[in-house]
Amino acid sequence: MNPSPHTRFRMPRRRFLRAGGVSIALPLLESLAPRAARAAAGGEGKPPMRLLLAGRFLGTNADYFFPRATGLQYEAPRYLRLLESHRGRFTVFSGMSHLGYPNAHPTEAGLFTGAPPERIFGASTVSNTVSLDQLVAERIAGQTRHASLAMGAVSYVPVSWDSQGVPVPLEERPEEVFKRLFIDGPPGEMAREARRLQEGRSILDGVRDQLRRLTRQVGAGDREQLEIMAGAIRQAEQDLARSQAWAGRPKPRVAQGIGEFQNAGWASGQRMRHDLAFLAFQGDLTRVCLSSEGVGNPGDAPGTVLGHHEASHHSRDPKRIEQLALFEEEETRQLARLLDKLAAAREGDSTLLDRTIVIWASNLGNPSAHASDNLPILVAGGGFRHQGHVAFNRERNKPLSNLYLRVLHQLGIDVPRFGMSTEILTELG
C-alpha cells in the first residue's frame, strides 16, 4: 500500500519564528533540505496535500459560468474570463448534483456531505453524514496544530458536519482565526499581542531580526517565498484592522426596503478567509479549510443596488440578472485572487496550488428556481490533469459524491464510498 501524501511529509524543513506571544510557521524552504538530500531519503520531503472548500449558496447564472464546448479549448464565458490566467489549472463540471434533493435553500446542509435526502429533509431532526472537510480532518488528525479551519457565516443551515452528524461551528470573525493561527503563549502575552494588532502594529515586528537573518541564509527562491509570506501576513492584518475599525462605527440609517448596509464587506470577508487559509496552508498549521462565502448586500459588489438574495430571484428579468452577475463576478474575482496566491507560492518542485485541492461549489443551480440540479462546480489545483470543462447529462445528473470520492483518493484517503457515491469519477485524471 502506498503511503498517504500526508504521512510522507516530515517536519525538518519547517521552522518557527517566535517572539513573545507570536509563533509564525515558515513555509517549506528548499535551502533547509536540498533536493538531493530528499531524493536520498526516498522522497520523504514531499509536501503534504491540502483541501479548501468554498461554499456558495445562491447558485450561478449557467450561461455565464458553463462553457458551450467541453475540454480545454472552450471559449470562456463571462465569469471564466476572470480565471483565464489559470486555464489548465481547473475543471468546471456541469450536469452534477446530489440526486433526489429538493429545490430549496436548505440543501446547503448536504452540499459537502452528499447525504441521502431522507437524512436531511422531511424529518423532524437532521441526521446528516460527515462532510468532506471533516472526514479528511479526522483521517489526518494530529499531523498539524489545527485539524481544520471552518470559517464564514451560516446563511441557512450548517455546512460542515462531523462523523456523528453534529454541525461544526463556523468562526465568523477573521480576527479570531488570525489569533488562533499566530498568537500563542501565556494569557498576558496573548493579550499584549492582541492589543498590538488593534493598534495597527504587526506581529512581524517582534520577529523582524530573525526573519532578516534567515533571509540572508537562504537562496533567491526561498527569499521570494518569505517575502510572499510576510506580505500575506501584513495584508491580512491590514484587512482585519479596517474591518474592526468599521465594526466600531454605528450603521447608517437607510430608506426602508434598501436593506441593511453591512460595514464589514461581503467581498472583503471572502478575501480575509482566503488569505487566512493561504497562510495556514503555507505554514502547515492545518491542511483542511472551509469557507462559507456568505450573501452580499446592496453595494457589496461594484454597481449593485439590489441585495444578492433579492437579485437571485430574478424571474428572468434582465436587470436583476445583471445585478446577480455583478455579485457572481465579484465572487469569481476573489477566487482568481486566491488561485493567484496559491500558484505564486513555491513548495519544493511544485506550487502550493499543485498541493491544494480547491472546490468552489454551490448547492443551487438556477437560483431563481432554487434548483438543486446542474450545480456550478469548479475544482482547481491538487495535481489533477485538469480537463477544462467536463459536461454530464443535464437531465440525468452524475452524483456529485463521485467527484468527492475522487478527491478523497487524490488526498490519499482510499475509502470505498462517500455520501451517495456510485463509483469513483474517472473524468478527472
Q: What mean pLDDT, rounded, does the chain reach? A: 83
In whole angstroms, give the CA distance from residue 400 to residue 96: 5
Tally of structural domains, the chain:
1
Q: Are 87 and 135 in contact (CB under 8 A)?
A: no
Q: What average pLDDT score do residues 104-122 get? A: 92
The pLDDT value given to residue 239: 62
Q: What average pLDDT score do residues 341-349 get? A: 92
Indicate if the pLDDT at residue 82 is higher than 60: yes
* Residue of 406, 188, 201, 170 lying closest to 273 (CA atoms): 170
Q: Which of 29-38, 45-54, 103-112, 315-324 has the lowest mean pLDDT?
A: 29-38
Q: Which three cell numbers, joined as nine digits, stand for 39?
A: 531524493
The pLDDT value given to residue 178: 83
Q: What average pLDDT score do residues 365-369 get? A: 92
DSSP E strand boundaries for 27-67:
50-56
Amino acid at residue number 98: H
Q: Is the model more confident about 261 or about 266?
A: 266
For residue 125, how many other CB atoms are within 10 A of its CB? Answer: 7
Phi, psi (5° rounding) for residue 275? -65, -40
- Give every CB contact of residue 216 below 8 A, 6+ residues apart in sequence: none
Helix 220-247 with 208-217: angle, nearest 10 deg: 160
In whole angstroms, give the CA distance from residue 310 to residue 267: 17
Residue 10 lies in a domain: no
Q: What average pLDDT score do residues 253-272 get? A: 54
Residue 18 lies in a domain: no
Beta bridge partners, 356, equal 50
Q: Are 318 and 10 in contact (CB under 8 A)?
A: no
In whole angstroms, give the CA distance from residue 111 to residue 168: 14
Q: What average pLDDT score do residues 65-93 get? A: 98
Q: Are 370 and 105 in contact (CB under 8 A)?
A: yes
Q: Which three cell numbers, joined as nine digits, stand for 9?
A: 511529509
Tell me the percentage of the chain whose pLDDT exceeds 90: 57
Q: What average pLDDT score do residues 393-403 get? A: 97
Residue 21 lies in a domain: no
Residue 31 lies in a domain: no
Residue 285 lies in a domain: yes
| Domain CATH number, residue 318 | 3.40.720.10
pLDDT band at 258 (very low <50, low <70, confident <90, very high): very low
Residue 111 lies in a domain: yes
Boundaries of domain holding 162: 48-175+263-410
Q: Are 27 and 334 in contact (CB under 8 A)?
A: no
Residue 159 lies in a domain: yes
The pLDDT value given to residue 18: 64
Q: Which of 96-100, 159-163, 253-257, 424-428 has the lowest mean pLDDT?
A: 253-257
Amino acid at residue number 1: M
Q: Is the model more confident about 23 or about 182?
A: 182
Residue 386 lies in a domain: yes
Query: Tens digits of per-residue pLDDT, 5-64?
Result: 554 434 344 566 666 556 676 777 776 655 544 443 334 567 899 999 999 999 999 999
Indicate if the pLDDT at residue 257 is higher than 80: no
Helix 220-247 with 266-282: angle, nearest 10 deg: 140
Highest mean pLDDT among 140-144, 316-320, 367-371, 379-383: 379-383
The pLDDT value given to residue 151: 95
The pLDDT value given to residue 44: 52
Query: Tens digits of per-residue pLDDT, 228-247?
Result: 777 767 766 666 665 555 44
Buried b / exposed e across 342-374, counting CB within 10 Å, b at 16+? Answer: bbebbbbeebbbbbbbbbbbbbbbbbbebbbbb
The pLDDT value given to residue 394: 93
Would you report the helix, strand and coil content of the chain in percent, each value rounded to 5?
40, 15, 50
